[in-house]
Structure 1
Amino acid sequence: MAEVASESYSFKLKSHPNKRLVDHLQRVGELSRKTIADRSLNIDDADLLEDAAYLIGITHDVGKATGFFQEYIDEKDEAKKKSLKSKDTTHHGLLSAFFTYAVIKEYLRKAGRNGGLADYLPILSFMAVKRHHGNLLNAMDEIKDFDADKEKILKVAEEQINSIDSIGRAEISEILALLLFRGNINLKFDLSNIINYILKDSAKEIGRKEKRFVRRLGEENNIYPYFVSQFLYSTLLDADKTDAGLDGAHLGRLDLSSKLVDEYRDAKGFSSNKNNINDLRNQIYEDAIESITAWNLEDRILSLNVPTGTGKTLAALSLSLKLRERLENERKIKPRIIYALPFLSIIDQNYKVFDEVLANGGKPKDSRLLLKHHHLADVGYKTSENEYDVDKSLLLLEGWNSEIIVTTFWQLFNTLFSNRNKQLRKFNKLINSIIILDEVQAVPHQYWQLIHDSLNLLCEKFNSYVVFITATQPLIFDESEGEIKEVAKRREGYFRGLNRIQLFLRVDNALNLDEFKAMLENDLREKPNKDFLIVFNTIGSAQDVYKFVKELELEETERFFLSTNVIPKMRLERIDKIKEKNAERRRKVIVSTQLIEAGVDIDADIVYRDFAPLDSINQVAGRCNRNSAKDDKGTVSIFILKDDRKEFYKYIYDPFLMSKTLDILKPIKEPIKESEFLDLNNQYFKAVKRGMGDKDSRDNLAYIAGLAFKDLSKNFKLIEEDYPKVNVFVEIDEKAAEIWRRYQDLQSEKNHLERTKKYLNIKKDFSEYMISVPEKFGHSLIVDGSNIGYVSFNELPHYYDMDTGFKREKAGEGSLIF
């Protein structure tokens, strides 16, 4: 994008130390308009949205023209610069928002546009610009500020305007006139009229008219304005950060062949590898691809509901690539594929598979094609031509600048339901995208209605597609009502044809751990050639039983312990080793918490599971005889385990879900066949939907309708924290010691930006040695001046067991000596 040139004027005002204001405003305006224009939208007045995005872009930093800001941007002394930055008169967001509000109002008036989208735009534009360097607040709170602090607000605005000398005012007029002309917007105005409007009428109009408007929105329960607001806000943030941080670079889109997965499966010999389970996987894959080839593109919410271990991941990616090709050819839409999972433990696994698919298709490693994004992901963005530094990499990662994004539910849903600048920047990438929700049963039932309504609108108005993939389909959308369409056209046959396992319910009487150990020891000795997986609800019970198993004299047995109490580096190493086929065929006994359930591709002959909701039971059953490689069936046994106080499941699971599970399972006295799982799951989710409370969804939908962004963000909690936690770094080896030294060194860096940059360089390695523990156990480990705990190599025997992880029984009793 070329710099602005004008024969009649020499522009002097700056937006950044090395950037002219006119250049920044033009680039942000053009990038903003392009983001809207490149999308296919099912909304009235889409052209109006494009013009609004451009107008927001070319006015969002007009407040930087003040003498106060120009003094700040030119100041070289860091102490003086910091002092200037803290002054109200240096801040540019509010004054810029006033300009934007005035320009949008004048544009709508002269264009004769009113009603519908035109009614939303002034206040939505005002809030987007006011908060483009912070987080969104509730619209009503923003407006009420004008009643409470109108005099102070206008006094600061007047000081700022008076600080712009005649040369500065002339330049602003020239900039706006030039950019309006270049943006092909027929709008002319006198700067003095805008200033007069800002100081005399704007606060009154926002404080009265817009207050009535926002109140009416809330009463109408209309969530559409919220999505327009987030789209505009995200568009501005993305354009602003792209120009400021990437110097205007705009990465182009890349092509992906729809046959990538087909070619990968052929290369791996999946079709030729014949046995019952592989035949089923091939059948499911072929059926899904056949379905999507003839899919009605008006049906935007899809389901791939098939049994565990039947190749859902590759089938979902392939059908998404083929859907993408159809949308490009038939609708001129080029969707990104956003693959979201509930757990970090399976993101690396799926990302690795996708990377292999691209490599097999001859694609070079390029972040424009595939990236992984979550809070612990490596901050590195590489293309076939460039490797970006950490600052630019972070901007590109957080902007989801890729064709395939592998991410978490937390990232996805906090982009939909957040007020946070950092999260909302990528909201625009949800528009026209294909969103795959893997293991969607993990979504809390209290948010079903919220997610139903929001995804419906995203698909209906913004031409996105959503694919639910799971073995246990929750009733977020009702298939009987035509709300969701199934890709797996012979779904019932897939489930009913399976015969890999039997499920035994031993839930009539609760067992204490001593009783369970006695039974387990007997089974381990009687079945020396069987791999066991034992899954517990609490870390304490898992540690107790693992220590018991470790002390047993069992021949040719490898023992593994998995829980979040173990640092991630060791967990991943153990999972990889569990999946290995050892030549000597030593049997494996795996003791784990529920992190093993969804998506972790391990296989055992016998599974024991402490009592849990039915969807969790189904998921852990998917780790049993997964590949159907043996003649005899696997067995899954469900127990109710307890301590001296109560059953363990009561410590962690929603009592509502547990009651529905008991209602369904208690009457069953015979072993449950795998072919019966589908019916049981359907019964369970129908019972959940009938009996669930929807207060959380209703509250959040009300916040959305009322543009209460801050309340929404505060109330929407995808992951409920029952107790405060502390992150603890565990120094288990020399590499950890080196990383900790580097972390300590960067604490002395006084420049916040430099310190952040240095941390991002070590973040991935740092996180591999980090665990989260209850505050009551970890508070004494916190290092002075930080919020992170530390266990040194010398203190490992006191606080960390190399098998079972953090020792909770001794932690919290005193301070460590460093």
Structure 2
Amino acid sequence: MEYFSHTRADKNEYLIDHLRNTGDLASFFALSFGGSEIAEQAGLLHDLGKHTKKFQGVLAGTVHGIDHSAVGAEYYWNKVSYDEEDLIDDPFLAQVICNVIQSHHSDLHGELTDRAIEDYGYMAYPDFDKKVITDNNKENALGSKKELEQIDSYVKDNSLLRVISDETFPETDSMSPEAKMLYERMIYSCLVDADYSSTAAFYDEVDYSTYKKENILNPEELLKKLDEYRAARGYGFSGSGLNGIRNEVYKCCEKAGRELPAGLYTLTAPTGTGKTHALIRFALEQAKKNNQKRIFVVLPYLSIIEQNASEYREIFGEDNCIEQDSQTEIPEEIKLYSDRWDYPIIVTTAVSFFETLCGGQAAKERKLHNTADSVIVFDEAQTLPSFLLDVTMRTLEALTKYFNSTVLLSTATQPDYNQRKNLFDLKAKEIIPDVRGLYEKYGEIRKLDISTNASTPETFEELVECFDINQQLFVFNTTGKALKMFELLKEKYGDDDCFLLSSALCSEHKSDTIKEIKNRISNGMNCYVAATQCIEAGVDLDFPAGMRECAPLPSIIQTAGRINRNGKSVGKFHVFYLDEKNKNGYPGITYRNESYVTRNIIKNMGLDINDNKIITEYYTQIFSGDAEENSDIAEISEAIEELDTHKLYENYKLIEDNDELNVIVPYKPDEFENLHKELSFKNFCISKKEMKAAGNMTVRLYGNRNIREYLDRHCRQLSARSSETGNSIGINWYIVEDVDIYDPKEGLIKEEKEGGFVF
């Protein structure tokens, strides 16, 4: 009997060809971190379950619900454990090979412990006298002892088992739990990418080796382009004022990138000091020095990656930069590069990056191995949540230690990671030689008259009257409070001069509003803006005056960075707090607790945003003792203790998306109407391509039962086609039916009352 791995109308692919091609690709993908022999062995055995009668029936369309992945894992574990074959000396790595084989069509399996071996059935082959259901609710492909003997002969005849030298893999006994788990995910990534790529090559009728042609960085060429871009615009020539500070930061990044080995670093510099160019300079110099293949620029919010990627494309050209996980439609010819992170410069979000780095889903983990041999720079690193900070930092540390990658954490308010009880020995080197001196110079040039009121609550009416200046920014902790201020501003100054920036605006609406605000500021026109914290990152505004509701200290400093940003005069900045009777006055419990810490620091120390002592004191209090913010959530800590990669994947969420709702709104009426008609023709079943295209006119919100009931009254819930059954299934996407619920100034209105809509 001949055994095939895939079929198409005109041709079948022999199983042995697929195994060898996958093994070769997996070995190639793991070259950068010395995992080639491990990854190759996984590739050579991953589809042994297709050498069975049941799976050949799947290809013929006569059998369904068969798990072929378990067979290779069972076979390898029994070979290394019971058949006394001297294949590999490290039982941890043997289990890694079994785990990634069994998981290559599903989620990565769990614990890397002896107990897990029994749980996943590696201890023995199935009982052939009964139907064996694997953990993904499918029937084990292996059906008889005779088939097992045939597989064993097949493996030996084709030399599919490798003796793996202990010189080729790391000393796993000395690796941290996070490093071990990352190593497993890297091997998993190599196998999944190799399997997908080899399969695609068969169906696309191309040679599988085309996937060895990497789209990697040419740092010398891109450094030249960066120099030309900056020279043409006069950057780097002025040595005075804020430009002098920006040049100093840029030169520090250039020098550090050129001289330092791959490692874990921090960049601490004030807001508005030109970090967009400085970060990419550091990354290019590092890539050149350490022979690294690509650069990742990781940003906190989806709304700002497009503008950064746009500037990088302007500097380096379309062929060198791509944004991943953005709302921009990606051309089909380069979509694969985005899906695999195979591009010289990738601009992505922290959510996308970290939920891949600590993930476990086959399709998403495919791209993980391309973070090896890379430079990864994080802007606004202070936004990483405290409840995931230990595992995040330890995993980044492992990435630099075992995978020849460089990580740079950039922020104006650098956390003191060593204050965390589980990060006391983390070594992250600062690349600015004199951070305190830099901030002192910055404070002398960009002057702010700061007032605070940490003792007495203030009212909205008092805040409106605080400054007699025709351009002001008011930032609040919630959308509801920002809306209330917006209404008061309109009463005082008129509708035309007042603006609202919040998550209730779709991204294109928000972008257009920011453009109008910038135009008014630059032309001296009246401009009064009420906003939420969505203004705190990636929004380059320069108001002469502004105020911020008491919040976590980094948020206050970010808002202050939008006041007198270019040092034109003396900016006015006020920090206030409201008389909170509503427990929902903060975005969350952690946010509220950190706001209270900030308020106490202001009471005791005042507020000088350029004094590093205040930032140090803030993180000392945040990370001290047994506070919630001093360790990861219990599920994450348990996953690390148990080396449970699946539990980590299930619980590592930067954003809890279970209650996320996406509402397509009529901001651009013509585009909206066309999409609405298209969807109505398909019974409101939306495709992934249409979701992507609608991204710029979509509002994302987190919904409780009342919000969902409201949307059901004024919107239509959309469905999507199931890839498994072909049936339409209701999803968390809606399209507006009652266009009055989207206001041209306020955005999506989320509640109703008699006589109209309100937030």
Q: TM-score, normalised by structure 2?
A: 0.84
- C-alpha change, 1:149 and 1:287, in structure 2 (3 Å) is closer
Following superposition, the deviation at residue 472 of structure 1 comes to 0.4
- Structure 1 runs (4+) greater than 4 angstroms displaced: 102-108, 147-154, 156-166, 168-176, 217-221, 477-482, 581-584, 650-653, 744-749, 811-814
CA distance in 2, matches of 1:642, 1:159: 63
User: Which residue in 2 is equivalent to 1:713?
Assistant: 649
Following superposition, the deviation at residue 263 of structure 1 comes to 2.5
Q: 2:277 aligns with which of 314, 320, 333?
A: 314
CA distance in 1, matches of 2:81, 2:654: 38
Preserved CA contact (<8 Å) 1:11 1:22: no
User: Which residue in 2 is equivalent to 1:770?
Assistant: 698
Following superposition, the deviation at residue 315 of structure 1 comes to 0.4
Following superposition, the deviation at residue 704 of structure 1 comes to 2.9
Q: 2:505 aligns with which of 536, 543, 566?
A: 566
Letter in 2 for 1:736: F
> Deviation per CA, 1:377-416, whole angstroms, max 9, x where unpaired?
53435xxxxx25xxxx2x4322211121111111222123
CA distance in 2, matches of 1:266, 1:709: 48
> Deviation per CA, 1:543-583, whole angstroms, max 9, x where unpaired?
1211222233459x632211111112211222233334678
- 1:423 maps to 2:359: no
- 1:536 maps to 2:499: no
- 1:724 maps to 2:659: yes
CA distance in 2, matches of 1:155, 1:811: 62
CA distance in 2, matches of 1:481, 1:148: 39
> Deviation per CA, 1:90-118, whole angstroms, max 9, x where unpaired?
3211123223434566998335x42xxx2
Preserved CA contact (<8 Å) 1:105 1:122: no
Following superposition, the deviation at residue 739 of structure 1 comes to 2.1
Show the 5 A alignment for 1:431-446. Answer: 431-446=372-387
User: Which residue in 2 is equivalent to 1:517?
Assistant: 461
Show the 5 A alignment for 1:692-703. Answer: 692-693=627-628, 694-696=630-632, 700-703=636-639
Following superposition, the deviation at residue 639 of structure 1 comes to 0.9
- C-alpha change, 1:97 and 1:159, in structure 2 (3 Å) is closer
Following superposition, the deviation at residue 128 of structure 1 comes to 0.9
Letter in 2 for 1:95: V
Following superposition, the deviation at residue 585 of structure 1 comes to 3.4
User: Which residue in 2 is equivalent to 1:781?
Assistant: 711
Show the 5 A alignment for 1:402-801. Answer: 402-477=343-418, 483-499=427-443, 500=446, 501-511=448-458, 515-521=459-465, 523=467, 526-528=468-470, 531-553=471-493, 558-580=497-519, 584-628=523-567, 630=568, 632-642=569-579, 644-645=581-582, 648-649=585-586, 653-668=590-605, 672-676=607-611, 678-691=612-625, 692-693=627-628, 694-696=630-632, 700-720=636-656, 724-732=659-667, 733-745=669-681, 759-773=687-701, 774-775=703-704, 776-782=706-712, 783=716, 786-788=730-732, 790-792=734-736, 795-797=738-740, 799-801=741-743
Following superposition, the deviation at residue 772 of structure 1 comes to 2.7
Following superposition, the deviation at residue 155 of structure 1 comes to 3.8
CA distance in 2, matches of 1:486, 1:695: 23
> Deviation per CA, 1:150-172, whole angstroms, max 9, x where unpaired?
86687447984458999x98798
Following superposition, the deviation at residue 65 of structure 1 comes to 2.4
- 1:277 maps to 2:224: no
What secondary structure sits across from 1:110 in the alignment? coil
CA distance in 1, matches of 2:233, 2:534: 29
User: Which residue in 2 is equivalent to 1:384?
Assistant: none
User: Which residue in 2 is equivalent to 1:238?
Assistant: 193
Unaligned runs of 5+ in 1: 1-9, 188-216, 329-333, 360-364, 382-386, 750-754
Unaligned runs of 5+ in 2: 133-138, 165-171, 203-207, 720-729
CA distance in 2, matches of 1:358, 1:371: 11
Show the 5 A alignment for 1:364-403. Answer: 365-366=318-319, 369-374=320-325, 376-380=327-331, 387=333, 393=335, 395-403=336-344
- 1:809 maps to 2:746: no
> Deviation per CA, 1:621-644, whole angstroms, max 9, x where unpaired?
11111112x2x2111111102455
- C-alpha change, 1:380 and 1:105, in structure 2 (3 Å) is farther
Preserved CA contact (<8 Å) 2:257 2:284: no
Preserved CA contact (<8 Å) 2:550 2:599: no
> Deviation per CA, 1:583-621, whole angstroms, max 9, x where unpaired?
853232221111100222122111111110111101111
User: Which residue in 2 is equivalent to 1:135?
Assistant: 107
Preserved CA contact (<8 Å) 2:50 2:141: no
- 1:144 maps to 2:78: no
Following superposition, the deviation at residue 252 of structure 1 comes to 2.1
Show the 5 A alignment for 1:219-230. Answer: 222-230=177-185
User: Which residue in 2 is equivalent to 1:27?
Assistant: 21
Q: 1:92 aligns with which of 49, 57, 68?
A: 68
Following superposition, the deviation at residue 663 of structure 1 comes to 2.4
CA distance in 2, matches of 1:138, 1:159: 19
> Deviation per CA, 1:306-349, whole angstroms, max 9, x where unpaired?
11000112101101100110112xxxxx2321111111122112
Preserved CA contact (<8 Å) 2:473 2:529: yes
> Deviation per CA, 1:737-760, whole angstroms, max 9, x where unpaired?
2223334445688xxxxx8xxx23
Following superposition, the deviation at residue 540 of structure 1 comes to 1.0
CA distance in 1, matches of 2:142, 2:27: 28
User: Which residue in 2 is equivalent to 1:211?
Assistant: none
- C-alpha change, 1:164 and 1:301, in structure 2 (3 Å) is same
CA distance in 2, matches of 1:227, 1:584: 52
> Deviation per CA, 1:450-487, whole angstroms, max 9, x where unpaired?
22322222222222211011100012257997822221
- C-alpha change, 1:409 and 1:265, in structure 2 (3 Å) is same
What secondary structure sits across from 1:134 in the alignment? coil
Letter in 2 for 1:63: G
Count of aligned positions = 702
Q: Percent identity?
A: 24
- C-alpha change, 1:560 and 1:227, in structure 2 (3 Å) is same
CA distance in 2, matches of 1:704, 1:375: 31
User: Which residue in 2 is equivalent to 1:15?
Assistant: 6
CA distance in 2, matches of 1:592, 1:218: 51
CA distance in 1, matches of 2:754, 2:225: 52
User: Which residue in 1 is equivalent to 2:722?
Assistant: none
What secondary structure sits across from 2:367 in the alignment? helix
User: Which residue in 2 is equivalent to 1:36?
Assistant: 30
More helix by share: 1
Preserved CA contact (<8 Å) 2:239 2:247: no
Following superposition, the deviation at residue 229 of structure 1 comes to 1.4
- 1:123 maps to 2:95: yes
Letter in 1 for 2:551: A
User: CA RMSD, aligned part only?
Assistant: 3.6
- C-alpha change, 1:648 and 1:355, in structure 2 (3 Å) is same
Q: 1:58 aligns with which of 44, 49, 62?
A: 44
Show the 5 A alignment for 1:117-196. Answer: 118-139=90-111, 140=115, 143-144=118-119, 146=121, 155-156=130-131, 160-161=141-142, 173=153, 177-178=157-158, 180=160, 185=162
Preserved CA contact (<8 Å) 2:74 2:123: no
CA distance in 2, matches of 1:614, 1:375: 29
Preserved CA contact (<8 Å) 1:415 1:424: yes
- C-alpha change, 1:655 and 1:458, in structure 2 (3 Å) is same
- C-alpha change, 1:143 and 1:165, in structure 2 (3 Å) is closer
Q: 1:355 aligns with which of 307, 313, 323?
A: 313
CA distance in 2, matches of 1:222, 1:647: 38
